[in-house]
Amino acid sequence: MKLSGFDGQTAFVTGAAGGIGQAMVHLLREAGARVLATDHPDALAALAPASDDRVLWRPLDVRDAEAAEARVAEAEARFGPLSLGVHAAGVLATGNVLDCPPAEWQRVMEINAGGTYAVGRAMGAAMARHGAGAMVVISSNAAGIPRAGMGAYAASKAAVTMLTRCLGLELAAQGVRCNILAPGSTLTPMQTGMWADDSGARRVIEGDLASHRTGIPLGKLATPEDIARAAMFLLSQEAGHITMADLYVDGGATLRG
């Protein structure tokens, strides 16, 4: 079955320079959508992407609610009414809660939770005006299971998840669907940056009983495309009666769906 509902549609993607974000931009474009792709200016400078008639790259700090609204407006001015949105921007933080400086806690919450508020609000308002739309927010399986050494990140992603579900409830009457993807360990720079050596992938797959962390039953890490393909389903017409769902895409690592 081929997914439908993308051809000629306008899509908005944050975190587009990251592994999952790049995969999303590629799949949306291949499916026929026109995409305004955003990321932090530093990330765009490192990637140096090129815009064309189907994908327009623009800088965005997701903490800036006014800037998020302006970028959504730009997407609509360039490509037409917004109907598809993917919020993939976010940052990782590691370390025990007792060792987490207040400034680091604030940074993580502002980007992950605050960014979801700013971007979700901007996309939701545009879709509500048109009476239709679908958005997917990339959260984490850490939002639903305690992680030693990841308190700030897990708390921020739990906020991301609940905020998106509340937004989905509020926008349902306007025909707007809001769903969450909760990836597990995925082969992105965010993941590999935590590894000290080449055995990192093996240790994640096997798990670590001492840190109360299960392994991955499927025996492999996700690729960015695995996550992006799941997001494409949630955005598609085939998922037209799904909203407020929290889909775990983690190879069974959290032993929940």
* The pLDDT value given to residue 177: 98
Domain formed by 10-249, architecture: 3-Layer(aba) Sandwich (3.40)
- Cα(198)–Cα(193) distance, integer angstroms: 11
CB 37 within 8 A of CB 23: no
* The pLDDT value given to residue 154: 97
Domain borders along the chain are 10-249
Instruction: Read off φ and ψ for residue 177, nearest 5 degrees.
Output: -100, 135
Active site residue 153: yes
* The pLDDT value given to residue 118: 98
* The pLDDT value given to residue 247: 97
Beta-carbon contacts of 186 under 8 Å, excluding residues fewer than 6 positions away, are 19, 20, 221, 222, 223, 224, 226, 227
- C-alpha distances in angstroms, 197 versus 96, 154, 161, 202, 216? 22, 24, 32, 10, 19
Write down the catalytic residue from 6, 12, 79, 153: 153
* The pLDDT value given to residue 201: 66
Burial of 207 (0-12, 13-18, 19+ CB in 10 A): middle
The pLDDT tens digits along the chain (257 residues) read 799 999 999 999 999 999 999 999 999 999 999 999 999 999 999 999 999 999 999 999 999 999 999 999 999 999 999 999 999 999 999 999 999 999 999 999 999 999 999 999 999 999 999 999 999 999 999 999 998 999 999 999 999 999 999 999 999 999 999 999 999 988 876 666 555 566 666 776 877 778 888 899 989 999 999 999 999 999 999 999 999 999 999 999 999 86
* The pLDDT value given to residue 64: 98
Q: What is the DSSP letter of 152?
A: H
Instruction: Read off φ and ψ for residue 65, nearest 5 degrees.
Output: -65, -40
* The pLDDT value given to residue 135: 98
